[in-house]
Amino acid sequence: MSWILASVALAGNVSDLQVIVLDARTDDPVEGVSLTLSADHFEEPDVRLTDGEGSYSWSELRAGTYALEVSADGWSTVKIDAYTMLGEEDQARTVFIDKVSADTAMPEKLPGDYTRRYAGFGGVSYGLYEFPWFIEDGPGYINVPGTGVYSYFFAQIADSRWYAGFGVGANFFNDAFSSTKQIRNEVNRDLETQAGVYTSQESFFHLPIEANTSYVWRWSKFFQSWVGTGFSIHLVNYNYVDRQVGISNDANGDLVFWQDAFKEGGTSFRTKPGYQIFAGTEFIFGKIPRIGGEWGLGLTTKFQTISAFELQQVGDTFVYEEKNEDGSNRGNDLADRGPQFREYDADNFSLTLGLTFHYK
The DSSP annotation for 230-266 comes to EEEEEEEEEEEEEEEEEEEE-TTS-EEEEEEEEEEEE
- Nearest-angstrom CA–CA distance, 257 and 248: 6
Q: What is the pLDDT of residue 139?
A: 45
Q: Where are the alpha helices (DSSP H) in the chain?
A: none
Task: Tally Cβ neighbours within 10 Å of residue 171.
Answer: 24
Topology (CATH) of 14-104: Immunoglobulin-like (2.60.40)
Q: What is the mean pLDDT of each run of 10 residues along the chain (360 residues)?
A: 34 79 84 91 90 91 89 87 81 82 41 61 82 49 76 84 90 75 76 81 80 87 89 77 81 82 60 82 85 85 75 59 84 63 68 85
pTM over 0.85: no
Domain 118-359 -> CATH class: mainly beta
- Nearest-angstrom CA–CA distance, 204 and 252: 44
Q: Where in the chain is the domain with CATH 2.60.40.1120?
A: 14-104
Q: Residues 312, 339: contact at Cβ < 8 Å?
A: yes
Q: What is the DSSP string of 320-345?
A: EEEEETTS-B-S--EE----EEEEE-
Which residues have a Cβ under 8 Å from the Cβ of 173 and sit 6 or more positions away?
Answer: 129, 131, 144, 145, 146, 147, 202, 203, 204
Q: Where in the chain is the domain with CATH 2.40.160.20?
A: 118-359
Q: What is the pLDDT of residue 189?
A: 76
